[in-house]
Structure formats: C-alpha cells, structure tokens
Amino acid sequence: MAGASRGAPNIMIAGTPGTGKSTLAKELAQRSGLNYINVSEVAQNADCLDGYDEEHECGILDEDKVIDELEETMSAGGNVVDYHSCEFFPERWFDIVFVLRTDNSILHSRLTERGYSAKKIESNISSEIFQVILDAAKESYKPEIVHELPSDTADQLEQNLDKIAEWIILWKQQH
C-alpha cells in the first residue's frame, strides 16, 4: 500500500491546462492542512528545467531532477501535487490521482483569457478531447486510484472539494 508508513496521504491533481487544477489543489490544501506543491514552480525554483519548447511554448521539464527534488517531501506524505501530467512520477508517491476534465468550450474561454496562442489553445483542446492525461494516468497507476472529476463550474469545484475531503477522512481512518 502506497501510504502505509505516512501519516497523511499524497494526492495528485492532474489535467489539461485550464481545467482548474491549481484552484482545486490550493483550496484543497488550505482546507485539509496538506502541503500544496505546484510542480511547475518547483521545477523553476530548483533549476529542474532543461530548456524551452518553442512549439508548445513552455519549459522542458527535467523529470529526473523534479523527482529527486521532491522525493523526501513526497515520502513524508501529506501533499497535494498540482501538475498537468502525472505519468512520470513514481507510482509509490500517490494514494489517489484526480484528473480534472472540462468542457471544450469552457476550456477554450479559459485558455483565451490566459492569453494562450491559437496553436497552444488548439493543442490543449485536442489533449482534452482525446483524454490524453486521463489515459496516461490510467496507464501509469492502479485503476482504482485514478478518478475523473468534472471541472466546469464553481458548484463542481465545491463538489470535488467535498468528495476529496471525504476521501481524506476515510484514508486517515484506514491508516
């Protein structure tokens, strides 16, 4: 069992950019008392970037460096991890993985508001249509720990927070 020796669970919040990962993960961490980890910020602050991808308009993550940087923190438990993908993280790190999904028209509006280029919006919408991140999560972790959550509205955000809070309570009772 992944979290057998930890006092609190590690939770992965993944999804296409614009699905509400950071909003959910930050609020979850605040409400639950767990540690919030934004992998993009960790990568930038700990020099875990290996250049810039012009085509995708983003930094290139040195996955091994990120894993080394987070290993001790993740082993201790009690973390909510926020990153668009999750398949490169060690399976042992996470007790549960939530992949946020958003309707394409809503996602398009959110990415447009962020000032993403048309090409970057199209790439992210395609990723969402073909559920690339959800499929990668299902291939990388035990199916019973991967959960898809709708993330279109503020009401769904609250429902997701409630569901995850209930899960945390159950996890703590069982561990």
Q: Is 33 annotated as a binding residue?
A: no
Residue with tokens 């993550």: 61
Q: Is 114 annotated as a binding residue?
A: yes
Query: Residue 15 forms beta bridges with which residues?
Result: 100
Q: Is 21 annotated as a binding residue?
A: yes
d(C-alpha 76, C-alpha 171), whole Å = 15
d(C-alpha 16, C-alpha 124), whole Å = 6
- The residues, any chain, with a CB within 8 Å of residue 27's CB and separated by 6 or more, are 157, 161
Q: Dihedral (C-alpha) 139, 163, 92, 70: value to the nearest 10 degrees?
A: 110
Q: Is 115 annotated as a binding residue?
A: no
The SS3 call for residue 83 is coil
In the annotated binding site, the residues are 18, 20-23, 114
Query: Could you tell me which residues are annotated as the binding site for ATP?
Result: 18, 20-23, 114
